[in-house]
Structure formats: structure tokens, C-alpha cells
Amino acid sequence: MTMAKAIKIGVLGAGGRMGRAIIAAIPDDPRLVLAGAIERAGHDSVGTPLGPPFPPSLTICSNHGPLAIASDVLVDFTAPDALAATLDAACDGRAAIVIGTTGLEQRHHAMIDRAARSIAVLQAANTSLGVTLLARLVEQAARALDWDIEIAELHHRDKVDAPSGTALALGAAAARGRGVDLVRVSDRGRDGITGARVPGHIGFAALRGGSAPGDHLVMLCGDGERIELGHRVESREIFARGALRAAAWLAVKPAGRYTMDDVLGLPVR
């Protein structure tokens, strides 16, 4: 029997928390092999070996182009400002890409849309399989109940964006369930004499502290009762495993824009 060809993974942001977690998880999946890893120029990890079980010659570099050419799929957990160069390299190298970077704005999504015309792109605010299913539950609950919706999230002290990308994705799921525009119904910070809660709005609360990888709680509050739908992360390994599962799935897909729902085979909305 002919062995299936290994899927070559290129990791962007190799010196960060998620980059390190993804690199560590690759040897656990027999379908995958690490093609290489990069960090931004000037980062103190550039030039350092990745260490066992990888060969000593495999070091962290800072050049997108050669890595994109050597990879079947790039996995990107970096920063929004790096996205344009990353997508250009992926398109030039004909590499699919999984984008887990958060804090993206509309202009970044427009870049992703353009890239998806020529390569397979999967963008997710959260690569956890559990969060993917949670968003579907939130959408269904919001469609069925006209109760108040509040979303709270907790992340480590070093996270730079708020609310988290996952919290916003859960808010978007609730808004879809109600057929409304999240931007128009978001309350993203309350302080002082704010007045009564606006009916139909979706509230967000962002907490920062310690080393928490990410907790999310969606509360649907009615008169005399409340539903709480939540997800707690115990280790960044779940994001790494989800991202690599997405990469393996994406490797054989044609050009287009995909989501974690597609990876799990969830019904089209």
C-alpha cells in the first residue's frame, strides 16, 4: 500500500505562545510534517533551532517567501499588521493558509477575500472545536428566545485586543440568530450612569488577568430564568490541535474561503 504524502506545515509566529504550541503538536499527527517556522525580523527567536524532535538544521527564520513555497499549508497566529505580507507570500507560493490571528478589521477581511480567489483560506477567531459548536448553540438559542444576551470573556494579562475575537464571533452568532447587524446592537463597555439596558442589544464584558488562555460565557437572561452557554480552555493545545486539524483538511481544498464549521462538516446555515 502506498503511504499518503505528508502534509507540509509552515508556522508563522513561531516565537509566540500559539506558534510554539502548534510546532509542539505537529509530531503528534502522523499526517503532518513541519516545513519550517518564521518570526518577524528582529525577534529574539530568529536563528534559533527548534530543538528535538526536529533536526538541528531546522531554525526559525524571518522570510515568508521560501516558507510559503516549501509548505502545503501555512498556519498564521501573528498580528493583523503582518497579514498583508503573509497573504501575498501564500498566494505567490500557492500555499493554503489557516489564519487564527485576532483583532482583524474589515480591511483585513477584504484582503482575505481577495486571496481566497487563488488559494484556500480558512479564517477563524478561535480554532477550538468546542467553540465552533458553541457558536451554533448560541445562534439557535438567540433565534428561539428574545431574552437579553450578555457575553463575558477572560484572557491572560498580555492579550492586546478586547473584546476577544471569540467573544465577537459568539456575538455575531447571536446576531445571526436574530437577523440583526452586530455592529448596531453591540454594547462594548458600560461605565457610570448608563441608563437602562437597551432592548435587543448584545453586551460584552472583557476581563484580563493571570495566564488564562480563554474563557467565554454567553448568558441569555429572561424574567425569572437564565441560560448560560460557556467554554473554558485548560490549555492552548486545544487551539493548536484544532488549527492543525483545519490545516490537514484545507490542504486538499480548492481556492475559496472556509471556516471551522466546514472542517466539522456542520450544515450550511
DSSP secondary structure letter of residue 253: P
Percent of the chain with pLDDT over 70: 99
The ranges assigned to domains in the chain are: 7-127+236-264, 129-232
Q: Which pLDDT belongs to residue 1?
A: 45
Q: For domain 129-232, give the CATH superfamily.
A: Dihydrodipicolinate Reductase; domain 2 (3.30.360.10)
Does 129-232 match 7-127+236-264 at the fold level? no
Pick left, alpha or beta for residue 217 (phi over 0 → left; psi -120 to 50 → alpha; otherwise beta). Answer: beta
Q: Please, where are the H alpha helices in the chain?
A: 17-25, 64-70, 83-93, 106-115, 129-144, 165-178, 182-185, 237-250, 260-264
Work out the pLDDT band at 134, boundaries 50, 70, 90: very high
pLDDT in tens, 164-219: 989 999 999 999 999 999 999 999 988 999 999 999 999 999 999 999 999 999 99
CA gap 87, 61 in Å, rounded: 17
Element (H, E) at 186: strand 186-187
CA gap 165, 214 in Å, rounded: 11
Flag whether the pTM goes above 0.95. no
Q: Which pLDDT belongs to residue 189?
A: 84
- Is residue 8 flagged as an active site residue? no
Contacts of 174 (CB under 8 A, 6+ apart): 138, 139, 141, 142, 149, 151, 182, 202, 218
Region 16-39: what's the mean pLDDT? 94
Q: Which pLDDT belongs to residue 52?
A: 82
Catalytic residue among 8, 64, 155, 216: 155
- Is residue 5 flagged as an active site residue? no
Region 6-31: what's the mean pLDDT? 94
Give the cell for residue 240. Answer: 493548536
Looking at domain 7-127+236-264, which CATH architecture does it have?
3-Layer(aba) Sandwich (3.40)
By mean pLDDT, which of 33-37, 74-78, 203-207, 233-237 is the weakest? 233-237
Q: Which pLDDT belongs to residue 3?
A: 54
Is the confidence at residue 4, as pLDDT, over 80?
Answer: no
Catalytic residue among 159, 201, 216, 231: 159
Is the confidence at residue 19, as pLDDT, over 60?
Answer: yes
CA gap 7, 139 in Å, rounded: 34
Work out the pLDDT band at 42, boundaries 50, 70, 90: confident
